[in-house]
Structure 1
C-alpha cells in the first residue's frame, strides 16, 4: 500500500472509516475483509453544496474586487 500510494494501510483504514461515518461510502463484510463502495447520491449532495458555496463566494469576492479597484482608482486620483 505504501509503495503504490504513499500511505500506510492503517491510514487508509482511517480514511475509509471517516468516509463511511460521513455517509460517503458503505462497506460490506467479505470474510476477514471489508469491501467499500462510494455512495453516489452523497457525492452528488456534496457537489451541490460546493457549487452553492462557489456561487456565493464568487459573487462576494467579485464585489470585493470591485471595491478594491475603486479604492485604488480613488487613491491614484488623490495622488495626481
Structure 2
C-alpha cells in the first residue's frame, strides 16, 4: 500500500505542473519528439528537459533516443492508476451523498408526520 501511495504522490506531483500536463495532453495524441513537445513553450531546452525527466521518473512517459532525436511516448498504464484513485474517490463521495439524501428524506418525512 505504501508503494502505491508513493507512486500516486509522484504522479500527482508530476501532473501538478502545467507544462508537464500539456506534455501529457500532447502525447495522448501519439508519440512526439522532444523538439516538437518543447516548441509551444518559451523556455530553454535544458529547462524543458527537466520536465521530461520528471515525467520519465514517474513512468508517465517513456523516451527513446535514435541518433540525436529523442521521441517520447505516453505510458497510459501509469495514468490509469490516477484515474482509479479518482474513481474510488467519486464512489466514496457518491455513497456519502446518497446516505445524506436518505437521511434528509427520513427527516423530511418525520416532519410531515408530526
Aligned to 2:67: 31
Mark the structure with the bigger radius of gyration.
1
Number of residue-to-residue matches in the alignment: 63
Higher relative contact order (CA 8 A, sep 6+): 2
TM-score (structure 2 length as normaliser): 0.42
Structure 1 spans left out of the alignment, 5+ residues: 67-80
| TM-score, length of structure 1 as denominator length | 0.55
Tell me, in whole angstroms, the C-alpha distance in 2 between the residues paired with 1:11 and 1:56: 39
Q: Unaligned stretches of 5+ in structure 2?
A: 1-37, 101-114
Compared CA separation, residues 7 and 51, structure 1 to 2 (3 A): farther
Residues 1:49 and 2:85 are matched in the alignment? yes
Alignment of structure 1 residues 1-80 onto 2, 5 Å: 1=38, 4-56=40-92
**Structure 2: distance between partners of 1:13 and 1:43:** 20
Partner deviation per Cα, 1:20-51 (whole Å, 9 max, x = no partner): 11111111111122111110111112211133
Mapped partners of 1:6, 1:56: distance in 2: 41
RMSD over aligned Cα, in angstroms?
2.7
